[in-house]
Chain A
Amino acid sequence: MFNALNEKLEVIFKSLKGKGYLKEDDIDVAMKEIRLALLEADVNFKVVKGFVQRVKEKAVGKEVLESLTPGQQVVKIVHDELRNLLGKDNEKIRIAPNPPTIIMMVGLHGSGKTTTSAKLAKYFKTQGRRVLMVAADLQRPAAIDQLITLGKQIDIPVFHSRQLKDPVKLCMEAVTDAKKEAREVVIVDTAGRLHIDDSLMEELKSVKETIEPWEVLFVADAMTGQDAVNIAGAFNEKIGIDGIILTKMDGDARGGAALSIREVTGRPIKFIGVGEKIDMLEQFYPERVASRILGMGDVISFIEKAQESFDQKEALALRDKILNERFTFDDLKEQLKKIRSMGPLENLLNMIPGFNKMKGINIDEKQFIKIEAIINSMTKQERENAQLINGSRKKRIAKGSGTEVVDINRLLKQYKEMKKMMKMFKGKKALKLSNLFSMK
């Protein structure tokens, strides 16, 4: 799936290559694919519509950064907008000035409230707080047992009752108990319910009014589809929510529901669940989820990493060198260093749209170190003029760099091919980074 999108974008990138400013037509082409990517990721169609419109307005007339193609520039604008919509990094759960901090977990059936309750309890316990969990799911068979079992695993008491049938009453008693026992955090696990089940929603409202929770957290399954807007909207309207926890993010769902829920509630996403084990609760980073929703996430990281590593001036200087066929071994060494500073090479190459087509090529990090060693063993003249390197020089370089003559030959051949490729850049405005990588 990811590959398919990357390939599509590659085609778009090609058609957009080498234009200085983003024009409406170009953006329309790219946005068509972005729209499908968002829909494929389960972002609600209405949310997609509004989003695409806003991004279009922002993108028209934007200058294309030297290091990017126009297509990449559009993607970057899209990604930035997505990230902004998804909220801020690391939204913490606030602690009430007067204990206990009561947290109420709400959501549909099977969204993961009980597991998440235990994860949160553990999280607060690790901070050294005295936590109480409340088994207020009196509907689902064995829900109480489930929370008790989890409580035992993390050594946190669970307030429960097998006699009480009214969650409001149970929660009231739980809070009284928590105050008596000087609990700092109380986590209330409520029964899953449909947002259109009026009597159960009414019941949840009464629980809220009775215990006055400091935070109501809406627990949502990351795999949720188009209906996420209806569900989250209803819970927010009828109950009022303060934050969101996105569960089951360890699967391969693209998580478009996150955007839908954010858009319809405006509440922050505070945590994500990333596994069944009790410590598998992570902070929410909009950056990562934005990339995931787009389904070409790594392209974004690539674009940004490339921006960091290659500054404008250097890029221009490099372009001049390439255009004037003055690309030396020293320049090669410099470029390789930059590429390596961008992270593990395998990851990096996979970030490039279309690279997967070239799979089967072995990427060996050591090869890079070897190349650097070889270049280091060359004299200044040799680095600038490869033609100087004859048989005896090859032997000397091999000896100096701890390699074999075949390695030197291979590098020389690659260098020659690279220069040949660079000739093809001549006359083109933008230098496309990805072409530099395909030198092998």
Chain B
Amino acid sequence: MGLVNKLKAGLQKTKTSMIGSLSVFTGKKIDESTIDDFEELLYSTDLGVKATAQIMDALRYEYGDGRIKKYEDVKIFLRKEILSILGLPQPFMLYQERPFVVLCIGVNGVGKTTTIGKIAKKSIDEGYGTILAASDTFRAAAIEQLEIWSSRSLSQIVKHQAGSDPASVAFDAIEAAKSRSIDLVLIDTAGRLHTKSPLIEELKKIKRVVNKAMQGAPHETLLVVDATTGQNALHQAKMFNEAVGITGIVLTKLDGTAKGGIVVAIRHELNLPVRMIGVGEGIEDLKTFIPEEFVEALFD
């Protein structure tokens, strides 16, 4: 099943419960009262108050100017507006640095470890030697969980004991990658709320130590965001970005009924691109983020 179809399949199942499903309006003329329905549609995607207000203002302006008359016009307009925010695809890729170091961060339960397992699999399949750094030394059995992903993806792993210093695990993984000429280091960190300053300090330390192990590293800092999350994801992105500097977003759990519209707000306010999306529990269920497909799934 292609990605669009997979996303659509998820959405199909909730169509009945979604008043916003645009197809209801097919062929219909647009007037003052129907225009409000689009506002609700935008809200339903977790786009947020601010982005929704901006898009609606633009929509009403176009409507007032007579450029929007039918449902199809609205659809084209909304798609265009959101696409212009999301921009072109900016996929995850390994640049020339070796090892290429990727730091994965995020709040608890968004799917960091699973995402790392999937990235590892993809990279190994593409022929890149990959090492996982078990820097989540806090959560019970997080190391065991990463070990399982390491064996599933045939990647290597560097781990210490539970409770040990996460920064030194990352350091050792980079050193190991250097000496074994491995292309990619994926650092798994413990989930932490962006509001907990000691944990944010710990993250800063990991970044400092990573940079000490290899100048210029981490080359990519990925914030993993759960598509089910509402407006708080924007706060997460803001605060993690301030603390360690994010270079990309991975949007997980898009195989459910949540639309993940908050990434539009994140892109709009912080200019952070979505690199990949998670669409299932399987090791292959990680796809490059294609804005057109995402917007298609948002409204269809």
Contact = CB atoms under 8 A, between A and B. Distances in A.
A233 interface: yes
A379 interface: no
Contacts of A111: 109
A148 B144 CA distance: 12
Interface in A90-134: 108-112
Contacts of A254: 231-232
Contacts of B140: 145-147, 149-150, 153
B14 to A, nearest CB: 5
Interface stretch (B67-75, B123-131, B178-186, B252-260): B252-260
A146 B48 CA distance: 35
Interface string B125-168: 00000000000001111101101110010000000001000000
Interface string A255-292: 01100000000000000000010000000000000000
Given A150-B140, A230-B14, A224 B257 contact: no
Contact of A225 (B108, B148, B195, B262): B262
A110 B14 contact: no
A49 B44 CA distance: 13
A141 B107 contact: no
Interface string B7-32: 00010011001010000000000000
A256 B44 contact: no
Nearest to A194: B256
Contact of A195 (B196, B231, B257, B281): B257
Interface in B215-241: 226, 228-233, 235
B49 A221 contact: no
A61 interface: no
B14 A221 contact: no
A181 interface: no
A312 to B, nearest CB: 38
A251 interface: yes
A251 B194 contact: yes
Contact of B193 (A149, A150, A250, A257): A250
Describe B's contact surface by its main secondary structure. Answer: loop
Which of B139, B149, B162, B195 gathers most chain A CB within 10 Å? B139
Nearest to A153: B140
A196 B231 contact: no
Interface residues of A, number: 47
Contact of B109 (A45, A149, A221, A230): A221
Interface stretch (A35-43, A207-215, A399-407, A428-436): A35-43
Nearest to A118: B140
B258 A248 contact: no
A140 interface: yes
B49 A39 contact: yes
Contacts of B193: 248, 250-252
Contacts of A341: none
A146 B145 contact: yes
Contacts of B249: none
A261 to B, nearest CB: 13
A172 B258 CA distance: 34
B144 A196 contact: no
Contacts of A221: 109, 226, 228-229
A225 B256 contact: no
B189 interface: no
B296 interface: no
A45 B44 CA distance: 7
Given A139-B281, A195-B257, A196-B257, A112 B109 contact: yes
Interface in B250-300: 253, 255-259, 262, 281
Given A252-B195, A252-B235, A109 B229 contact: no
B74 to A, nearest CB: 18
Contacts of B110: 110
A223 B141 contact: no
B240 to A, nearest CB: 12
Contacts of B111: 109-110
Interface string A35-78: 01001111001100100000000000000000000000000000
A212 B145 CA distance: 31
Contacts of A42: 46, 230-232
B145 A248 contact: no
A248 B195 contact: no
Given A39-B43, A40-B49, A251-B232, A227 B256 contact: yes
A361 interface: no
B57 interface: no
Contacts of A46: 19, 40
Contacts of A109: 109, 111, 253, 281
A230 B107 contact: no
B230 A251 contact: no
Contacts of A317: none
B10 A257 contact: no
B258 A227 contact: yes
Contacts of B44: 45, 226
A253 interface: yes
B230 to A, nearest CB: 3
A231 interface: yes
A195 B256 contact: yes
A141 B144 CA distance: 8
A250 B14 CA distance: 31
A108 B109 CA distance: 10
A256 B255 CA distance: 23
Contacts of A36: 49
A248 B108 contact: yes
Interface of B: 10, 13-14, 17, 19, 40, 43-46, 48-49, 107-111, 138-142, 144-145, 147-149, 152, 162, 193-196, 226, 228-233, 235, 253, 255-259, 262, 281
Given A224-B229, A248-B107, A256-B230, 9 more contacts: A40-B231, A46-B40, A108-B228, A142-B142, A146-B144, A226-B46, A227-B258, A250-B195, A276-B139
Interface of A: 36, 39-42, 45-46, 49, 108-112, 139-143, 145-150, 153, 194-196, 221, 223-227, 229-231, 233, 248, 250-254, 256-257, 276
10 contacts: A36-B49, A111-B109, A142-B145, A145-B140, A148-B141, A221-B226, A223-B229, A226-B258, A230-B257, A276-B139
- 4 nearest CB pairs, A to B: A225-B230, A110-B109, A42-B230, A149-B140
